[in-house]
Structure 1
Amino acid sequence: MLDSIRSRRDPGYRGELHDYLIFNSRAACLMTIALIMGGLALDSIFYPVYAREFLELRVGACVLIGLVLLSYRLSWGRDNAKILTYFWICVPQAMVAWMIFRVDGELSIYFVGLTFVLSGMAFFLPISLLEASFFGALTLLAYCAACALRPGGIQDFHAFWGNTVFMSFYAVIGVALAVYNERWRWLSFQLKKEIQEKNEALQHTNKALAEIKGHMMQQEKMAALGTLAAGLLHEVNNPVNYSLMALNMSMMDALVVNSPDLKESLGDAKEGMQRVQSIVSDLKTFAYQKPGDDSSRIFLFEKALQSALRLTGFELKGIAVTVDLPMDTHVRGDEPALIGVLINLLGNAALALHKAARQSPRIEVRAVRTEERLEVTVRDNGTGIKPEHLPRVFEPFFTTRDVGKGLGLGLSVSYAIVQRHGGALRVSSELGVWTEFAFDLGLANKNV
């Protein structure tokens, strides 16, 4: 009984039951029409005198049931499916009751048709306990009325009570089937709902695992590239130092001092070698991720941010920079390295804003203290990042800039610096609207 009450209150179950009613009612309509027209054989065998009258009666009943069947195709019919189903169930009951009234009453074979109606309702239609009881009582009442109101009334009470008891058995069986079917449908709905919820939870878990797998692959890729870079650093750095030393000595030669063109050429060569040296230095930061002696000092993040803003002052001309920091920004880490991270993030944001040509370009730097970390975000309203580029922005040598405008090492180096501080550098973006980089640092009173 409690299950029945809960099922009637569940909107999902009611919707599914409504669809089930329409589907089964259509099938039951077709079967009922076939049985009604098949009864013409009984008319011609037992009551040939009434064959024509009963043919018209059967056709009329089939037309009414057919109209109900067609109405299920319309939105009105689907909305009123339950009332229409009650109506067409009464049609064969009324037809059989009239035929009993017209012929032998309690001695008529047509009482079997009423048992077919009771059986069909219980087997094919999703009716409740109360509905099954109501239709069972209505069927018995229709039979009693047909026998009692016919000319001459009930003449064979023995046959009348026998048929009544027989149909009562069918009514009780119909009620029992209705209770069983209603409980089975409710349990089936609960099981289906539980499976659906578990599938959704499994999909959510699979998605989370895929994201974790992607993050782990990114870390493995960066670790592998870092190992590769570390192996090349020594071989590259030594010849660069030798070349710079040779260039410095050459520039002090009298011939070079007295030849402006030669001096300019050697100066360009020296500038190129210094550029190579700075690239090697960046690669060292990426490759060697072990903290140094100064990587765990306490410093003010606010002070580091001010240094980064000063160093990027030229790039930030014409851009409104807002800073929102908590009162205490003492953190633990490598201050120069983290200034480099901020310079890289601010420089990238400035480049995106100049490229977007906003009327009101702005960069928002915000920091929030949690229990153990300082959460930092750098957000701009620039060009944004394409979704297909987001997973690759931290890869070494990946860049969307024009050739010669950058090597794509800035974010990968920044990623490594934040990672060795026990945090993670993250990015989110909406193409054409905004980009936000976020990372976290350990507080001064907490161990990294």
Structure 2
Amino acid sequence: MEPQIHLGYQAQLANFRLGYSRVGCALAVVLVLGGVALDQAFYPEQAGILGLARLLASGFLTLALIALFSPLAGRYVRAITLSWLTLPQIMISWMIYHTQGASSPYVFGLSLALYAAGIIMPIGFLQGIALGVFTCMVYIFACVAHASGGSDNASMLAGNSLFLLFSATISAGCTWFNERARLQLFQLQHEVSEKNLALQSTNQALAEIKGHMMQQEKMAALGTLAAGLLHEVNNPVNYSLMALNMAQMDKAVMASADLKESLADAKEGMQRVQGIVSDLKTFAYQKPGDDASRIFLFEKALKSALRLTGFELKGIEVTVDLPMDTHVRGDEPALIGVLINLLGNAALALQKSARAKPLIEVRAKRLDGRLQVAVRDNGTGISPANLQRVFEPFFTTRDVGKGLGLGLSVSYAIVHRHGGELRVASEDGAWTEFSFDLKLATDNA
């Protein structure tokens, strides 16, 4: 983690230094030229020569500013920054030499430049020390050179040199503390960024868990509802079917076409109610029975499902890709029902899409002690708005009277009862794939 933080910090610091160096260099150009007012106030008789020195220094600073905008500025920003920081110090030291030496008030300009470099500019600790030592050296050199041409105050030179040394020490200390503060700030930003990423991942996981729990709650609620309805509805339905069967055998009914048709319609309606009750039993009794862990051949179950849906799959190419051994544990009739439902839905989607080459792919593979099964079609796909609702009880996109929306809900409950999960993936207008997994007959398979 530390090397990553270090590399990230260095990259961020390089951009930080470059931006501040550009601003600082531009400000230095303005301040150097603006110092003409000081020349007029302190040494009006030498304002011309001092102004030329300022103009020359500002010219070099402008070249440094241009270099800071060059393609290589990012790589050499430290060297360029330290170079232009020395330019005002050289200019001021020359002014000190040209005016009054140690008695010149321009010594305060050197001190202010050191403070500005240490507090504002993003230079390193060693760079701060180097700038302070350089400033003290050029100041002493300027004062000594001035004294050699006449007289100078030794005590003033010593005092100002000590003052500059203090300023250089404070400037270097500021650069050290600023460097530490920037590193700590970056580490804090790095930690916050990592925690935000972890939080996003956690929120996504929680959202998935919430959706799964909501689905389970819906299944449990429907199971409770179904359990209450079974005894209340199933017996009257059976009585009604028996009565209808007896009525159909009556001579008067057989002699009347209208009565015969009416009783046939009534019987068909009651049989449909009976089918609904049968589907609801899946939710009412979700505990595994004696056949829940029986070993059977999935390939055989798939063939049965394909035979039972043969009429619906007419004209559709069905490809099957299974491993050599497909022995699994579970309730074979219930899982055949799941396959029938998935194949029937795929066939309906292909009919709606009117593909030139309708195709259903059934694939399975052995993975981590389970058989992973997928049923994919190149039909109409499922819209994103409906994708999260396909397993909801009574949700259907079929026309009125052509489906109750219980097929996928029943299949979901059956797969869940077998310790797996029925999943769906789709691209609207292109394809749909339902997948689930079953426990293999042997753990080491």
On whether the aligned pair clears a TM of 0.5, the verdict is yes
**2:167 and 2:279 mapped to 1: Cα distance?**
89
8 Å contact 2:89–2:110 — kept in the other structure?
yes
Match of 1:330 in 2: 327
Distance 1:179 1:326, change over 3 A: same
Match of 1:267 in 2: 264
Choose which of 212, 218, 234 in structure 1 pairs with 2:209: 212
Choose which of 86, 96, 99 in structure 2 pairs with 1:103: 99
Match of 1:46 in 2: 42
Match of 2:442 in 1: 445
1:48-93, Cα deviation, whole Å (9 max, x unpaired): 3224544565577568768977998x78698576566445423422
**1:383 and 1:138 mapped to 2: Cα distance?**
77
Find out whether 1:391 has 2:388 as its counterpart: yes
Q: Which amino acid in structure 1 is aligned with residue 361 of structure 2? A: E
How far is 1:186 from its partner?
Answer: 1.7
For 1:35-434, what aligned pairs fall within 5 Å after superposition? 36=32, 39=35, 42-55=38-51, 57-58=53-54, 85-86=81-82, 88-149=84-145, 152-153=148-149, 155-156=151-152, 157-434=154-431
How far is 1:389 from its partner?
Answer: 1.4
Query: Structure 2, unaligned stretches of length 5 or more?
Result: none
| RMSD (CA atoms) | 3.2
With 362-371 and 138-147 compared, the bigger mean Cα shift is at: 138-147
| SS at structure 1 position matched to 2:364 | strand
Distance 1:231 1:69, change over 3 A: farther
Give aligned-pair identity as a percent: 61
**1:422 and 1:15 mapped to 2: Cα distance?**
50
| SS at structure 2 position matched to 1:275 | helix
8 Å contact 1:106–1:154 — kept in the other structure?
no
8 Å contact 1:100–1:147 — kept in the other structure?
yes
| SS at structure 2 position matched to 1:388 | helix
How far is 1:42 from its partner?
Answer: 4.5
| SS at structure 1 position matched to 2:373 | strand
| SS at structure 2 position matched to 1:257 | helix
Distance 1:76 1:153, change over 3 A: farther
**2:89 and 2:192 mapped to 1: Cα distance?**
41
8 Å contact 1:105–1:154 — kept in the other structure?
no
**2:394 and 2:275 mapped to 1: Cα distance?**
15
**2:399 and 2:70 mapped to 1: Cα distance?**
60
8 Å contact 2:101–2:147 — kept in the other structure?
no
**2:281 and 2:173 mapped to 1: Cα distance?**
81
How many residues were matched structurally? 441
1:94-146, Cα deviation, whole Å (9 max, x unpaired): 33123113211233121221121111111111111332233233323432443
Choose which of 11, 15, 18 in structure 2 pairs with 1:15: 11
8 Å contact 2:82–2:127 — kept in the other structure?
no
| SS at structure 2 position matched to 1:439 | strand
| SS at structure 1 position matched to 2:311 | coil
8 Å contact 1:25–1:124 — kept in the other structure?
no
Query: Structure 1, unaligned stretches of length 5 or more?
Result: none
**1:143 and 1:247 mapped to 2: Cα distance?**
119
**1:364 and 1:154 mapped to 2: Cα distance?**
102
Distance 1:145 1:434, change over 3 A: farther
With 410-419 and 36-45 compared, the bigger mean Cα shift is at: 36-45
**1:409 and 1:219 mapped to 2: Cα distance?**
15
**1:352 and 1:394 mapped to 2: Cα distance?**
16
**1:172 and 1:433 mapped to 2: Cα distance?**
72
TM-score, normalization by structure 2: 0.87
Q: Which amino acid in structure 2 is aligned with residue 352 of structure 1? A: A
TM-score, normalization by structure 1: 0.87
8 Å contact 2:220–2:283 — kept in the other structure?
no
**1:89 and 1:357 mapped to 2: Cα distance?**
76
Q: Which amino acid in structure 2 is aligned with residue 434 of structure 1? A: W
**1:234 and 1:348 mapped to 2: Cα distance?**
31
With 261-270 and 429-438 compared, the bigger mean Cα shift is at: 261-270
| SS at structure 1 position matched to 2:400 | coil
**1:141 and 1:169 mapped to 2: Cα distance?**
14
With 133-142 and 381-390 compared, the bigger mean Cα shift is at: 133-142
Q: Which amino acid in structure 1 is aligned with residue 127 of structure 2? A: E
How far is 1:366 from its partner?
Answer: 1.9
Q: Which amino acid in structure 1 is aligned with residue 44 of structure 2? A: P
**1:259 and 1:155 mapped to 2: Cα distance?**
143
1:226-279, Cα deviation, whole Å (9 max, x unpaired): 211221222222222222112211211112223334323322322222122111
**1:427 and 1:396 mapped to 2: Cα distance?**
16
8 Å contact 2:82–2:131 — kept in the other structure?
no
| SS at structure 2 position matched to 1:392 | coil
Distance 1:351 1:106, change over 3 A: same
8 Å contact 1:147–1:153 — kept in the other structure?
no
